[in-house]
A and B are shown apart, each in its own frame.
Chain A
């Protein structure tokens, strides 16, 4: 592939990505959104972050995997840690350690 074309692609992706970020803050949109849209926006954090979590846990390689997927149990452990502590650092550490522990356990049993 040509070097110039690849740089062009990176720049085009950057420009389009910036557009997705700036458009709602630009003057093309009314300052006051309709009340129903305002109400709907409350669900943006949960509606966008949940799919990213689900994809990372159930579809690490792009296809659904349930059996032998230690990520599911590690994610559940992290979920419990998040509910109990509410602390970001503890949740990430608990989740990562659970995954490593479960993977070692699984490989030593098989």
Chain B
């Protein structure tokens, strides 16, 4: 698509593109939400608590850790620390989108922040950074975010209600890494991104046993630093030669 076609996109078109681009991922989100619904009830939470946690928290990975820790009677302070450490990656998402969203009025930023998740971020950041800008770009994130929100709630409720009828040898949890493989792999373009991925991988292997699920933010930071350093070194070499 050419430059002017993007520039003239209406808010409705951006919103619709967001929804359409987010829809395929729901194939992975539905099993993910089902797994959470099942685990929630199994952990001893009530149906209402499990469902409202999806509504309030809206962060799959942290919700799964939450119910796993509740099931093993972990102290509340540790649960709070774990959920926060897992979710601190959202600040990185916000930072990387700040350029595109900071000019918006407060109610827009509050709403988009609430909807900012891995899967919405991954789809919309591609649109923000890889396609020409438009004045209504933020509607794209609204589209991806609301789509995910809707399916996450439906999947959680389904997991709570009919979860017991789903056989547990289906390994539905595997849909989570698969979803991220499906988003990430086609996005990778640069050699420095590969270096970032390797740094992050090594860090997971070295830190997975640390408390509060610290591995995630540590691996993310090491990936960012690794990728950036590789880029700076490559830039310097190309200037020297």
Q: When chains A and B are docked, how far (Å) is the Cα of A88 from the Cα of B28?
A: 9
Selected contact of B112 from candidates A5, A25, A38, A52, CB within 8 Å: A25
Give how many A-B residue pairs fall within 8 Å (CB-CB): 264
Q: How far is the CA of A13 from the CA of B77 in the complex (A)?
A: 10
Q: How far, in Å, is A33 (CB) from chain B's closest CB?
A: 6
Q: Which of B107-127 contact A (CB under 8 A)?
A: 109-110, 112-114, 116, 118, 121-122, 125
- From residue B158, how far is it (CB to closest CB) to chain A in Å? 18
A17 contacts B59, C-beta separation under 8 Å:
yes
- A103 touching B112, Cβ below 8 Å: no
Q: Which of chain B's residues has its CB closest to A37's CB?
A: B95
Q: Mark B197-222, 1 if CB is under 8 A from A, else 0.
A: 10111011100100000011001111
Whether the Cβ atoms of B62 and A55 lie closer than 8 Å is no
Q: Given A53-B177, A92-B28, is A24 in contact with B204 using a C-beta cutoff of 8 Å? A: no
Q: Which residues of A contact B215 (CB under 8 A)?
A: 51, 55
Q: How large is the interface on A (under 10, 10 to 19, 20 to 34, 35 or more residues)?
A: 35 or more
Interface with A: B2-10, B147-155, B180-188, which one?
Answer: B180-188
Cβ contact within 8 Å between B182 and A46? no
Within A54-93, the residues touching B (CB, 8 Å) are 54-60, 62, 64, 71, 74-75, 78-79, 82-83, 86-89, 91-93
A residues near B220, Cβ cutoff 8 Å: 44, 47-48, 51
Report yes or no: B223 in contact with A47, Cβ–Cβ below 8 A: yes
Asked whether, in the complex, the Cβ of A50 is within 8 Å of the Cβ of B201, the reply is yes
How large, as a class, is the contact surface on chain B?
35 or more
Q: Is B61 an interface residue (CB 8 A)?
A: yes
Q: Could you jot down 29 A-B contacts, CB within 8 Å?
A: A7-B49, A10-B56, A11-B56, A13-B57, A20-B84, A20-B90, A20-B94, A24-B93, A31-B103, A36-B228, A43-B196, A43-B224, A44-B92, A45-B121, A46-B200, A47-B199, A47-B219, A48-B216, A49-B122, A50-B196, A50-B201, A51-B200, A51-B201, A51-B215, A56-B173, A71-B174, A79-B185, A91-B182, A100-B171
Known: A26-B109, A79-B185. 8 other contacts (CB 8 A): A10-B56, A14-B57, A18-B114, A21-B116, A33-B98, A48-B223, A58-B204, A103-B171
A contact residues vs B (CB 8 Å cutoff): 1, 5-7, 9-14, 16-18, 20-26, 29, 31, 33, 36-60, 62, 64, 71, 74-75, 78-79, 82-83, 86-89, 91-93, 95-96, 99-100, 103
